[in-house]
Structures are given as structure tokens and as C-alpha cells.
Structure 1
């Protein structure tokens, strides 16, 4: 493995110490993170959770776009924009990988332990920032479409595809839209590549988490650029056909992101002691509906 440790005890970014040591990594570390993410995916049935949470949302957007074509021009920006909020959406997957790393045998409901994260308030704040970035991207994509084709809506899906794929205006839309989308994706990658796993794992403010992510990108420009391309490529492949492949791509990327964080940020030399999870034991009908929320019985 090509990982090497950055020697200074504290990072300095814009003259401010972050207190988290960032390592230099290589492309082989990305491969290893994906391998570990795949192992987590096989061991933890998170695909069912992803199907339950992501598919209804995507289905609603698609259903609305097919029946009333007002959202049709934004369908691709909506799907592509998931990469902007993906780091926040993957919180539960990070938690499952963290627990499996500790030798536990986590279940899907253990993902809810993110609510007890040391920096949960900071996580919500940075998550809100990513959602704002997502909203700005959608508004920008809409402006680009209107500037290219005007306010006239496409009559049908084939008509929309013909406009975009066979006309000079459509080619301009593709080039400009993808170029602007790339800039949004770079911003999201730089501020969040290790931010959420760090805040889940340590007592870190949102500012320190963003600074650490920026430092990770600055120290590892080629691996981080490759990671961004890997994420975009797997999401693109997973979106075809009809987003079916996302039930594999999303959890694998989520788990792999945790392992990437472990490779990039030096572990806490004095981690807080966590009590081992007590066994759930038998569940009785009288416990319903509390039995649906096993973490509520923990002391």
C-alpha cells in the first residue's frame, strides 16, 4: 500500500491549525477502499435500505416528469446532483462500516446511531450547506436550459431527447451544462470528501472538517480527482437502466468513502471508549412497536 503519513503534528490551512493529520495516498488506496466497501456491502444488507429510501424519491421525480413534463429538462440535473448531497446521504453507511471495523456485526438499524455522533450539529450544518449547493445547481441548470431553448416546454420525452441530442442548441446545452456541473461537483468534493466521516468519528466542527477535506484534496490532487471520476462513473453506470444499479453503486460508494477517510486522516491517538453493544435478545409481540427501534432500548 502506498499510504504515507504527513509528518507535521497539526495541519495549517490559511494560517489556522485543524488538529487532524492528513496522509498522502496513492491510486492503489482508492482500489483498496473500493474493495473494502464491496466487502462491507456483501456483509451488511444496506441495499434494502437504499432501495426503500432512494427509489421512492427517484420514482416520484420520474413519475412527475413523465406525466407532467415541467420537470423533464431537470431530470438529468436532479440525478446528477445527487453527487452533491451524496456525502451527507451516506452517513448511515459510514456508521455501519465504522461498527464493522470495530468487530461488530451491525444491522441496518444501527445506521440510526449517527444521531449520537459526537458532532451531529455540525453534520446537520454542513449537510444543509450541501443541500443549498444542490438547490443552486438545479436553479443554474434551469437557467441554462431556458437560455438555450427558451420557456417552451418539450411536448414529450422523445421530443426532448431530439432537441438535446440532434440540434446545435442541444449540444451547447450538454457542453455548458456538464461544464458547470463539473464545477459544482469539484466544490462539493473539496469540502466534503472526508468531512462527514470525520465528524461522525471525532469531535470536529464543520469548519475544521471542511479545512481537513480541503487539505486532503490539496495534498492528494491526483487521487482525489480520480476518486471524483470513480464516483461519477459508478453513479452514471448505476443509473442505467432506470436507476436499478444504484442499489449496488450507492452502498458500495458509501462504505468505500468511510475506508477512504480512514486512509486519508490519521486515526485519533486517544479515541473515546465506547461501550460494546448489548445483545438485542428475544423480541416479543408486546414490545411492538418499540421492537422496530432497537436502539431505543440501549442504556
Structure 2
């Protein structure tokens, strides 16, 4: 299994003194992990990029180009689950454990207790819920604009601009809630023998006790992912692995034994 060589870990406590310097340190450590083991980062990011390009192609092919923006806005919701393998890479480097594809891919199965699988269900349900909300918003403003969904001209109309404002506000709230429950919980499930509800509680506690720093991290992730998606998603080949590894190191700083 991917967790070979790891003993059960005692219940954790949450640090309440995170600083912006910790974010810089996490990013630096994340970059070093990516450079040390680039094949794993490029593999997981490549799957994500490939999925993004497929969605774009499908929407244009089906004449639903106007759906590109809501799809792109919701796509980052599944990024934390894609990063599970990256957490395992960072964990194994930190512990000095041998690196292998079987071990890293095995992390996606969790510790044999289906806790990561349960989190994966939450991830994809959240993504599906966002698409439903986006569809409702889209239908309301599309009717007002009188422009079909096959055209991007919708976003040049007043109704289209209002749709972006309303959709962005609701999307940001959903993304923040989702970030709060996953930013610490997923790396914790890779690292420790805990149930997913306990991991979610620890994640929420970390955000609550370090609100400014964790919101700064959320903002940095959002901006970095947005910029990385602009050039045909290709920037994600570097940005996603570095952020994934960095999130592991931030988790290690935030949650102690």
C-alpha cells in the first residue's frame, strides 16, 4: 500500500500562530518537492490539464461556448482531490521513504478505510452542485439577454455582466466553504488514521484560528490557478504541483502531533 512504513498517529492540535512567512516557506518547500520529483507533479497536473482541454473542446463542439466561464470557475473545486498524490510525494520525501508509482498512486485509495474516497464523493458532489447553481443563474440571465448559449457575445451585454457579478459572488462563497473543509483535511487523511469528519473539523479549526493567513493562502491559490488556466491550462503543469506540495507543508506547519 501507499502508506507502507507509517505508524498510526495520535490526535492532532491546531497551531494558532500561522504567519505570512509560513506561506512563503510552504511555497519554497513546494517548489523544491516539485523540482526533486517532477514526474509525479507533471503526471497529476497533466490529467487535470487534459480534462480542462477536453471540457473546452466539448463545449465549443456542442455549441455551448458561453458555458466556458462557469465551467472554468468551478474546475478548481476538484484540484485538491487531484493533489492527493502530491501530498503523498511530499510525505514520503519528508519521511525519507522510497518513492514509487505504486506507493504514490496507492495514496488515492487512502489507508484502506475509504475516508479519502468519502472526501472524493464530497468533492464531486460539490462540483455538481456548483454546476446546478451556475445553470440556474445562467438560465435566468440568458433569457434576459436574448442571446444563445453558443455565443460569447452574451458577456458583452448588461445581462451578461450582471450574470458574471452574481455568479462570481456565489461562486466565491462556495469556493471559500469548500476550501475551508479541504485545505487541511485531505493532506491529514493522507498522513493520519482519522475519519473524514474529524479531518474536516480540523481543517475548519485551522481556518478559524488563523483566518487572515488562511484567507491569504486561499486568495493566492485562486489567483495562481486563474492565471495558470489562461494559456490553455498549460500553466497548471507547474502551478498545480507546486501548490499541492506547498499545501502539504502548510498542513505540517498548522497541525502538530
TM-score, normalised via structure 2 length? 0.88
Where does structure 2 lack aligned partners over 5 or more consecutive residues? 1-9
Residues paired across the two proteins, number: 244
Aligned match of 1:20: 12
Aligned match of 1:69: 63
Cα deviation code 1:276-298 (max 9, x no counterpart): xxxxxxxxxxxxxxxxxxxxxxx
Change (3 A) 1:69 1:27: same
| Cα deviation, residue 116, structure 1 | 5.9
Picking from 38, 50, 58, the partner of 2:44 is: 50
Q: Secondary structure at the match of 1:118?
A: coil
Aligned match of 2:252: 262
Q: Matches of residues 269-288 of structure 1 in structure 2 within 5 Å?
A: none
Aligned match of 2:24: 31
Where does structure 1 lack aligned partners over 5 or more consecutive residues? 1-17, 268-299
Higher helix share: 2
1:239 to 2:232 alignment: no
Aligned match of 1:153: 148
Report which structure shows greater RCO (CA 8 Å, sep ≥6). Answer: 2
1:122 to 2:115 alignment: yes
| Cα deviation, residue 120, structure 1 | 4.4
| Cα deviation, residue 154, structure 1 | 3.2
Runs of 4+ in 1 over 4 A off after TM superposition: none
Picking from 193, 206, 214, the partner of 2:204 is: 214
Change (3 A) 1:234 1:120: farther
1:176 to 2:176 alignment: no
Q: Secondary structure at the match of 2:118?
A: helix
Cα deviation code 1:49-89 (max 9, x no counterpart): 0354223312221111122223x233222222232222211
Cα RMSD (Å): 1.9
Change (3 A) 1:108 1:256: farther
TM-score, normalised via structure 1 length? 0.77
C-alpha separation in 1, matches of 2:239 and 2:89: 16
Is the Cα–Cα contact under 8 Å of residues 97 and 255 in structure 1 kept in the other structure? yes
